[in-house]
Chains A and B, each alone.
Chain A
Amino acid sequence: MKIDVKRLAKLAHLQISAEQEKVYAAQMQDILEMVEKLPQLESKESLVDPNNPMTLRKDIPENSYKRDVILQNAPQTQAGCIVVPKVMD
């Protein structure tokens, strides 16, 4: 199977040089060959483990972190907001 690394990179928001593209394509081909050895299995059952249903905690409002603490990790801030490039014209 031919893998379109360029398209995958676009989907994953990655930029890949032409040189890297070749290396990745060859390596992914090897990995897929290994992966394709999986047996064909059929099941109508759900993939969720019935013995271990995940439980979500209740949505109860509680004190959270202060805005300035959270913003300390942001690459660029202004007036208590995170700055990003313009999204709409």
Chain B
Amino acid sequence: MELFEHTAAQLSDMLAKKECSSEELTASVFDRIHSIEPEIGAYITLCEDLALKQAKDVDARRISGEELAPLAGIPIGVKDNICTKDILTTCASKMLYNFVPPYDATVIQKLRAQGVVISGKLNMDEFAMGSSCETSYFKKTRNPYNTAYVPGGSSGGSAAAVAAGEAVLSLGSDTGGSIRLPSSYCGVIGLKPTYGSVSRFGLVAFASSLDQIGPIGRSVSDVAMLYQAIYGYDPHDATSVAAKHESTTFHAGNNIKGKIIGIPKEYFMSGISTEVHDLVMKAAKVFEENGAILKEVSLPSTDYALSAYYIISSAEASSNLARFDGVKYGYRAEKFDNLIDMYERTRSQGFGDEVKRRILLGTFVLSSGYYDAYYKRAKLLQKQILQEFNDIFASCDLLLTPTGTDTAFRIGEKMGDPLKMYQNDICTVTVNIAGLPAISVPCGMAASNGMPVGMQLIAPKFEEQRLFDAAGCYEANIGNLCQIPMDIKKEVIS
């Protein structure tokens, strides 16, 4: 078994016992990257020299007897909308094709302080807007289970890299499902933490009231370890919540005896493929066999969640993306007549189609005369959705739903139809709207196309450990949930 194939939890142990060095591990991950990256295209920027230097430094510290953090010396990939000092951060957009942040995001500061090795920056949908990783300005990332399929989005590079063994762990960001959906499509585990539990300082803003950074890994322990490394209050983020679980040690639990798992019926109705439905219900049986109590529940506002999501996220995006004007950083149009012309040409040439569509939609819902009819209504619905979740969590410990309505789809299949693309997020957006934590866990392969299927577990705010307990219990029953596909299926794309 090559070093890159191990989980972070195994590697942490091996590094501590000096059974391998971080330099050897980092070299193994880069060997894997060089052999497979032409097929997958997960990275926008590779940091091989820097990573090997970081690895050697950690090894030297370990040899000197220094006590190191559990993730010290382990290579992690970072989504390209998280600022990394002196490393390109493009948001997969022409608009930021040359942007080199002068500072680190808080999560990166934390990881660097813990001796984590950064392997590079990962591909995504442009400004995190998309569900397939196809709106990137630079490249299309392919699904490691079959390269004719999308990896999901927007954190498609983050999920594909971990699934293919091109990173031990990765960071993604999730505004409407952008960590969970690609994790489901690529057969890995992805956590969207409680809103406010991980600092957003240095995350390029898309929809600030919904965005959240989170970990992706190949075991429940790995995801818990990376969450442990990045969570916590940060005065640089006004929405960061102070110390709700400051002294907790997150870990993959295994006991869910007596826990009540709600099955919201709205998530299992029309629109969900039979294969997905059956595999998620099969996983529910595993929980039941381990002593959990299943209970059918109802979240009546689910049907409206997608509409509320697109209003709120587009409104915030149109406001957040107003800063990209060609003045202070990033792309500037080559030719223009005056200042306004420079703004317009820069933005028209710098943003892709999907980003423009959302800016226009956001501008519309915030414009005079329409604010009350759209934005305010969506915000009121947001309150109602949160209330429905609160009511249900009074009698349930967790909720179980599918992550996506179906498996990954073929590259190009949904690009011409934005509405069809938006429907992919139907099971995930409510969690962002309510600010809750949720995890996507692989629960089998679809017989029809051999692609992975994910289930989603949802917990009340700041109850991430409940997710790790349930996911850990499932993992203990099933065994290894995320096997790196060594023989990657390549289909000719017609």
Q: Which residues of A contact B (CB under 8 A)?
A: 3, 5, 8-9, 11-16, 24, 27-28, 30-32, 34-43, 45, 47, 52, 54-57, 65, 69-70, 72-76, 82, 84-87
B196 interface residue (CB < 8 Å to A): yes
User: Does the CB pair A13–B340 fall under 8 Å?
Assistant: yes
Which residues of the partner chain A approach B360 to less than 8 Å between Cβ atoms?
5, 8-9, 12, 14, 24, 28
User: Does the CB pair A31–B363 fall under 8 Å?
Assistant: no
User: Does the CB pair B359–A27 fall under 8 Å?
Assistant: no
Which residues of the partner chain A approach B364 to less than 8 Å between Cβ atoms?
3, 8, 28, 32
User: Does the CB pair A41–B348 fall under 8 Å?
Assistant: no
Task: Sample 7 A-B pairs with CB under 8 A, ordered by A number.
Answer: A11-B367, A13-B344, A14-B347, A28-B361, A35-B365, A75-B329, A75-B331
Nearest A residue to B234 via CB reads A57
Complex Cα–Cα for A69 and B356 (A): 30
Complex Cα–Cα for A47 and B310 (A): 18
Complex Cα–Cα for A57 and B236 (A): 7
Shortest beta-carbon distance from A67 to chain B in Å: 11
Nearest B residue to A42 via CB reads B380
User: Does the CB pair B100–A73 fall under 8 Å?
Assistant: yes
Known: A14-B359, A28-B364, A74-B328. A38 touches B342 (CB 8 A): no
User: Does the CB pair B235–A57 fall under 8 Å?
Assistant: yes
B339 interface residue (CB < 8 Å to A): yes
User: Does the CB pair B310–A34 fall under 8 Å?
Assistant: yes
User: Does the CB pair B238–A54 fall under 8 Å?
Assistant: yes
Which residues of the partner chain B approach A75 to less than 8 Å between Cβ atoms?
326-327, 329-332
Q: How large is the interface on B (under 10, 10 to 19, 20 to 34, 35 or more residues)?
A: 35 or more
User: Does the CB pair A35–B326 fall under 8 Å?
Assistant: no
Task: Please report which residues of chain B, range 339-368, place their CB below 8 angstroms from some CB of chain A when the two chains form the complex.
Answer: 339-345, 347-348, 351, 356-357, 359-361, 363-365, 367
B378 is contacted by which of A38, A54, A57, A84 (Cβ under 8 Å)? A38
Shortest beta-carbon distance from A54 to chain B in Å: 5
Interface 0/1 of B78-121, CB less than 8 Å to A: 00000000000000000000111011000000000000000000
| Chain A interface, DSSP helix/strand/loop, else mixed | loop
Nearest B residue to A83 via CB reads B327
Question: By CB atoms of chain A within 10 A, which of B103, B360, B361, B418 has the most?
Answer: B360
User: Does the CB pair A47–B307 fall under 8 Å?
Assistant: no
- Listed from nearest, the 10 A-B pairs whose CB atoms lie closest are A75-B332, A73-B329, A41-B380, A15-B348, A57-B235, A35-B307, A54-B238, A13-B343, A12-B363, A85-B339
User: Does the CB pair A65–B103 fall under 8 Å?
Assistant: yes
Which residues of the partner chain A approach B311 to less than 8 Å between Cβ atoms?
35, 38
B396 interface residue (CB < 8 Å to A): no
User: Does the CB pair B241–A85 fall under 8 Å?
Assistant: no
Which residues of the partner chain B approach A82 to less than 8 Å between Cβ atoms?
327-328
